[in-house]
């Protein structure tokens, strides 16, 4: 292991886990890949290798799916009462709380993010979601249906678990995205094969240990590590009933195609280019802080990052100055350092991609209000960047950058239809925010925005009970809230002629 951290920042438990040999969890056993191959995991703060994990090939995917199938078809899991499932999920939440600091440290090393954010958001929100979903186990019900065909009938619906779920998650919130997926799947009574992103497989492996400690039956949760090829093998597998994916729109389309063989149920949460629309009456201090965190949180690596700002021309300059000031206050550095606000981006590939966009923005004539370049000389750090006076022809405005880069444009018309047209001028439709004191304007504009979530005077605030997902090319399906249960259940109608 090669983690250049000042002494005392990495706890003994996290260090021991990072130094341990990493294996995959299949059918309750920790195993190597059958090929014996491994791949390396890197520290984004310096680009050096941290450790290696097994590379799952098709035969490993077959084993994992068979274990999940066995657990679904024949194991004790599907015979448990809803309350018994609920108790297990709640226990898992308690254990995540117990191991919260350790998990946050592992996440911070693997992903680069500030350890404080990892504890509060990745672990903290994950615990809340598990507890929320634990409550759903006992509330998944059908309906009694009045029938109109001749004769006397008693008809009802049952909501049953969809079966074996392949869950493929990205690297921006590795543990949290895993929990977004497993929590409703477990609540519904499904079994899971999880594939974390190849850049950040470590907390998913630790999660497997904790799920075992909570007492879940063998095979209910399996984890395989590998890249897109492992993901594709899962997606194409004929014994998988459902695929849930979070990642890029490009790969999302491959997931949809790959699932067609046995017509798996599919839910995909994809890219975004979310607008933040600022009205002249907005509380400027609150708006400056909120729009800044709307783009810079997690180094901009959020699918709902507020990466396009539309601000009324009367407050545009003030907002730009405020954003530059906010950016200057953000401490850039290694995620494990307690005062870090912005860690590195995930990989050399993303670092190069974001730098390419920074160059493209400058070349296309965007004004660099702040940032616009890398930070430091090692690791994948990018300065928080504000581009002003951009326009919708520029690639920085059209495409998802997935870094701490925002494009700002002034508007000078109060017509809400025209503002909505600008805001909706994207292939994506994941999130949007409206900053104003006028709730009539907020409600009216919210109806015109084509996005799965519209925030008012906030951006990025998710809640366990609030459905989350995309319009347009940002995806299919809604995670969290009651809607997430619908993703993992299917309805059976029972019609009885009396």
Please pick, among 303, 400, 479, 486, the residue that the annotation labels catalytic: 303
Task: Give the range of 35-43, 156-164, 228-236, 461-469 binding ligand ADP by CB under 6 A.
Answer: 228-236
Candidate segments 147-155, 231-239, 282-290, 470-478, binder of ligand ADP by CB under 6 A: 231-239
55 vs 218 by CB, closer to ligand ADP: 55
- Residues 240-269 within binding reach of ligand ADP (CB under 6 A): 247-248, 251, 254-255
Q: Which of 27, 26, 20, 29 minimizes the C-alpha distance to 53? A: 20
Residue of 102, 269, 326, 400 marked catalytic: 269
Smallest distance, Å, CB 498 to ligand ADP?
49
- Is 137 catalytic? The answer is no
**57 interacts with ligand ADP by CB under 6 A:** no
Count of Cβ atoms closer than 10 Å to residue 441 Cβ? 18
Which CB sits closer to ligand ADP, 39 or 153? 39
Q: Which residue has the tokens 């923005």?
A: 361
Nearest to 495 by CA among 160, 153, 159: 153
Q: Rounded to an integer, what distance in angstroms lies between the CA atom of residue 3 and that of residue 14?
A: 12
Q: Is 197 in the site for ligand ADP (CB under 6 A)?
A: yes
> Quick one: which of 198, 218, 241, 479 contacts ligand ADP (CB under 6 A)?
198
Tokens of 256: 């949809």
> Nearer to ligand ADP by C-beta: 303 or 388?
303
Residue 177 interacts with ligand ADP (CB under 6 A): yes or no:
no
Residue nearer to ligand ADP on the CB measure, 134 or 197: 197
CB of 132 to ligand ADP, least distance (A): 25
For the bound state, the minimum distance from the C-beta of residue 475 to ligand ADP, rounded and expressed in Å, comes to 12
* Cα–Cα nearest to 269, from 288, 255, 289, 287: 255
Residue 372 CB, nearest approach to ligand ADP (Å) = 23
Q: Interacting stretch for ligand ADP, rule CB under 6 A, among 71-79, 155-163, 168-176, 281-289? A: 168-176
Which of 170, 344, 379, 481 forms a contact with ligand ADP (CB under 6 A)? 170
- Which residue, judged by CB position, is nearest to ligand ADP in the bound state? 231
The least distance separating ligand ADP from the CB of residue 221, rounded to whole angstroms, comes to: 17
> By CB under 6 A, how many residues form the interface with ligand ADP?
16
Nearer to ligand ADP, 203 or 291 (CB): 203
Instruction: Provide the Cα torsion 24, 25, 27, 31; round to 10°.
Output: 40
Of 194-202, 282-290, 322-330, 360-368, the window that binds ligand ADP (rule: CB under 6 A) is 194-202
Decide if residue 235 touches ligand ADP (CB under 6 A): yes
Q: Does 228 bind ligand ADP (CB under 6 A)?
A: yes
Query: Minimum distance between the CB of residue 491 and ligand ADP, rounded to whole angstroms?
Result: 28
Beta carbon nearer to ligand ADP, 251 or 434: 251
Find the shortest distance in angstroms from Cβ 204 to ligand ADP.
10
Q: Which is nearer to ligand ADP, 72 or 402 (CB)?
A: 402
Give the nearest distance from C-beta 61 to ligand ADP in angstroms: 11
Q: Which is nearer to ligand ADP, 247 or 335 (CB)?
A: 247
Q: Which among 147-155, 226-234, 291-299, 363-371 is the span making contact with ligand ADP, rule CB under 6 A?
A: 226-234
Q: Please select the residue that binds ligand ADP; options are 63, 181, 195, 206, rule is CB under 6 A.
A: 195
Q: Is 483 an annotated catalytic residue?
A: no
Per residue, what are the HEC states of the chain? CCCCCCCCCCCHHHHHHHHCCCCEEECCEEECCCCCCEEEEECCCCCCEEEEEECCCHHHHHHHHHHHHHHHHCCCHHHCCHHHHHHHHHHHHHHHHHCHHHHHHHHHHHHCCCHHHHHHHHHHHHHHHHHHHHHHHHHCCCCEECCCCCCCEEEEEEEEECCEEEEECCCCCHHHHHHHHHHHHHHHCCEEEEECCCCCCHHHHHHHHHHHHHCCCCCCEEECCCCHHHHHHHHHCCCCCEEEEECCHHHHHHHHHHCCCCCCEEEEECCCCCEEEECCCCCHHHHHHHHHHHHHHHHHCCCCCCCEEEEEHHHHHHHHHHHHHHHHHCCECCCCCCCCCECCCCCHHHHHHHHHHHHHHHHCCCEEEECCCECCCCCCCECCEEEECCCCCCHHHHCCCCCCEEEEEEECCCCHHHHHHHHCCCCCCCEEEEECCCHHHHHHHHHHCCCCEEEECCCCCCCCCCCECCCHHHEECCECHHHHHHHCEEEEEEEEEC
Residue from 95, 121, 165, 168 binding ligand ADP (CB under 6 A): 168
Q: Using the rule CB under 6 A, is 227 a contact of ligand ADP?
A: yes
Query: Smallest distance from the beta carbon of 291 to ligand ADP, in angstroms?
Result: 23
Instruction: Just list the catalytic residues.
Output: 269, 303
Can you give the binding site for ligand ADP, defined by CB under 6 A?
168-170, 195, 197-198, 227-228, 231-232, 235, 247-248, 251, 254-255
């Amino acid at each position: 292991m090669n983690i250049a951290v000042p002494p005392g920042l990495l706890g003994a438990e996290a260090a021991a886990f990072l130094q341990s040999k990493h294996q995959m969890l299949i059918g309750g056993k920790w195993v190597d890949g059958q090929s014996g191959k491994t791949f390396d995991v890197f520290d984004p703060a310096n680009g050096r290798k941290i450790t290696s994990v097994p590379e799952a090939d098709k035969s490993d995917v077959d084993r994992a799916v068979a274990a999940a199938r066995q657990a679904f078809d024949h194991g004790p899991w599907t015979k448990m009462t809803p309350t018994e499932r609920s108790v297990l999920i709640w226990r898992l939440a308690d254990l995540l709380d117990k191991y919260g600091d350790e998990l946050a440290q592992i996440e911070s090393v693997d992903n680069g993010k500030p350890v404080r954010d990892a504890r509060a958001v990745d672990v903290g929100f994950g615990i809340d979601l598990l507890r929320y979903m634990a409550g759903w186990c006992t509330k998944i019900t059908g309906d009694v249906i009045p029938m109109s065909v001749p004769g006397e009938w008693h008809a009802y619906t049952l909501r049953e678990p969809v079966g074996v779920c392949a869950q493929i998650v990205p690297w921006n919130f590795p543990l949290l995205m895993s929990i977004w997926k497993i929590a409703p799947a477990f609540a519904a009574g499904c079994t899971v094969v999880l594939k974390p992103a190849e850049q950040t497989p470590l907390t998913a492996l630790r999660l497997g240990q904790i799920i075992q400690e909570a007492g879940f039956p063998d095979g209910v949760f399996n984890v395989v590590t590998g890249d897109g090829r492992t993901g594709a093998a899962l997606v194409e597998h004929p014994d998988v009933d459902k695929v849930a994916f979070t990642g890029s729109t490009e790969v999302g389309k491959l997931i949809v195609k790959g699932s067609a063989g046995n017509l798996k149920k599919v839910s995909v949460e994809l890219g975004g280019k979310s607008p933040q629309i600022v009205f002249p009456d907005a509380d400027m201090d609150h708006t400056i802080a909120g729009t800044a965190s709307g783009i810079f949180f997690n180094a901009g690596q959020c699918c709902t990052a507020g990466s396009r700002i539309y601000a009324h021309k009367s407050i545009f300059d003030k907002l730009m100055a405020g954003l530059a000031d906010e950016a200057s206050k953000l401490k850039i550095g290694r995620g494990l350092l307690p005062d870090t606000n912005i860690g590195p981006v995930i990989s050399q590939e993303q670092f190069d991609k974001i730098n390419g966009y920074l160059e493209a923005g400058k070349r296309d004539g965007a004004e660099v209000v702040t940032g616009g370049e890398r930070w430091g000389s090692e690791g994948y750090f990018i300065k928080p960047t504000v581009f002003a006076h951009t326009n919708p022809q520029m690639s920085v405005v059209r495409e998802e950058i997935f870094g701490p880069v925002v494009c700002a444009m002034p508007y000078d018309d109060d017509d809400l239809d025209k503002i909505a047209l600008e805001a909706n001028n994207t292939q994506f439709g994941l999130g949007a925010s409206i900053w104003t004191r006028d709730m009539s304007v907020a409600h009216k504009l919210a109806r015109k925005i084509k996005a799965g979530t519209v925030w008012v005077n906030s951006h990025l605030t998710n809640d366990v009970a609030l459905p989350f997902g995309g319009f347009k090319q940002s995806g299919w399906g809604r995670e969290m809230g009651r809607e997430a249960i619908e993703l993992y259940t299917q309805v059976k109608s029972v019609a009885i002629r009396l």
